[in-house]
């Protein structure tokens, strides 16, 4: 296979920890770099970086120097990749350059599937998302992608593995992530120490309680030492979650996860952890009390989490991803 020039049009880089879409795409681009391809990211939002730079082999053009026209972007690429709001521009660039286009899909919103219509390859972050996409395209109003692939958000366990701490933790204190439940549990469990981590998006719900410590937003490179090394149990009471990357990250250290049963979190946990209705706080308190005080309960849950982490090893899916990129670029 010849060395490809892969151009991704994204809105932010380096990826922000609480923007799981960016971390997933970055891991996929890193895999292409490891295959020997020339991987470039052109940003379309302003950032604090003004000159070109490199991140783990991925070359990055900030918005100040990136290609601003679809024709210019398509002219330098063998394949164009984008996600979220960048997909329409990427499709135009690919058309002008006469090259294939790939859409990385991170949610089941109708707009996501509309924008991925007709692309050469759509990548879904879960099996349930691919099934939702197939149902969407079945109505024949939009052309389906030429082919599709499932790549679960890659988590390299060694990047997150640590010795768990003693806190009950929620990452991203916004309404969707379950911040109100977090604060309610903390009020009802004053003898338990809680840890809240501000997120990079959404209105953050922050209160003052003696048994709660709130951290500022933590970049991905600091999550292991500043968050997971202090966490005994991770809460994931999201109302909507297409996957739930933090659950997979915590599992690398054998940290049990209590989660609301969204399809994404259910698939992510794969039987490990506990699924609880976020509107039933009493059940969450009971589950926490059991994990924190019942002999053997935490150890059993921790073993299940570690086993699930091993099942989520991303190597095979990243190989399949690289194979697919090379095939559509022929």
Domains of the chain as residue ranges with CATH: 5-154+314-328 (3.40.50.2000), 157-311 (3.40.50.2000)
Question: What is the DSSP code (8-state) at residue 36?
Answer: T
pLDDT single digits (tens) 204-248 = 999 999 999 999 998 888 899 999 999 999 999 999 999 999 999
Q: Is 310 exposed, middle or buried (0-12, 13-18, 19+ CB in 10 A)?
A: exposed
Strand-pairing partners, residue 38, are 5
Rounded CA separation 17/226 (Å): 13
16 pLDDT tier (thresholds 50, 70, 90)? low
| Sign, CA torsion 250/286/202/242 | positive
In the block, which residue shows the tokens 């380096």?
14
10 pLDDT tier (thresholds 50, 70, 90)? confident
pLDDT single digits (tens) 36-89 = 999 999 988 766 666 788 888 999 988 777 787 888 888 989 999 999 889 999
In the block, which residue shows the tokens 């338990």?
192
Question: What is the DSSP code (8-state) at residue 15?
Answer: P
Rounded CA separation 59/14 (Å): 11
β-strand 58-61 against 53-55: which pairing, if any? antiparallel
Q: Which pTM does this prediction carry?
A: 0.92
Rounded CA separation 167/194 (Å): 5
CA dihedral (222, 160, 47, 50) in degrees, to 10, reads 90
What average pLDDT does this structure show over 149-154? 96
Whether the pLDDT of residue 18 is over 50: the answer is no
């Amino acid at each position: 296979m010849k060395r490809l020039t892969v151009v991704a049009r994204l809105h932010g880089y380096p990826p922000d920890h609480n923007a799981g879409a960016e971390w997933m795409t970055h891991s996929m681009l890193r895999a292409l770099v490891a295959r020997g391809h020339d991987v470039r990211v052109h940003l379309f939002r302003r950032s604090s970086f003004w000159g070109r730079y490199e991140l783990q082999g991925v070359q990055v053009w900030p918005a100040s120097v990136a290609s601003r026209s679809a024709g210019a972007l398509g002219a330098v690429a063998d394949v164009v990749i984008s996600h979220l709001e960048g997909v329409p521009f990427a499709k135009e660039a690919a058309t002008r350059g006469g090259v294939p286009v790939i859409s990385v899909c991170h949610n089941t919103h109708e707009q996501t599937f509309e924008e991925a219509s007709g692309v050469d390859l759509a990548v879904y972050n879960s099996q349930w998302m691919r099934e939702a996409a197939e149902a969407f395209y079945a109505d024949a109003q939009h052309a389906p992608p030429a082919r599709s692939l499932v790549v679960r958000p890659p988590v390299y366990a060694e990047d997150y593995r640590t010795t768990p701490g003693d806190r009950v933790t929620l990452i991203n204190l916004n309404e969707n992530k379950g911040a109100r439940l977090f604060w309610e549990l903390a009020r009802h469990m004053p003898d338990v120490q809680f840890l809240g981590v501000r997120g990079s998006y959404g209105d953050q719900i922050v209160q003052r309680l003696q048994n709660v410590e709130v951290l500022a937003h933590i970049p991905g490179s600091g999550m292991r030492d500043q968050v997971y090394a202090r966490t005994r149990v991770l809460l994931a009471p999201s109302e909507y979650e297409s996957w739930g990357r933090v659950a997979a990250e915590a599992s690398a250290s054998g940290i049990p996860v209590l989660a609301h049963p969204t399809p994404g979190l259910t698939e992510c946990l794969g039987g490990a952890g506990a699924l609880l209705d976020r509107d039933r706080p009493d059940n969450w308190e009971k589950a926490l009390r059991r994990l924190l005080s019942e002999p053997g309960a935490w150890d059993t849950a921790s073993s299940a989490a570690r086993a699930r982490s091993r099942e989520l090893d991303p190597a095979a899916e990243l190989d399949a991803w690289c194979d697919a990129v090379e095939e559509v670029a022929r």
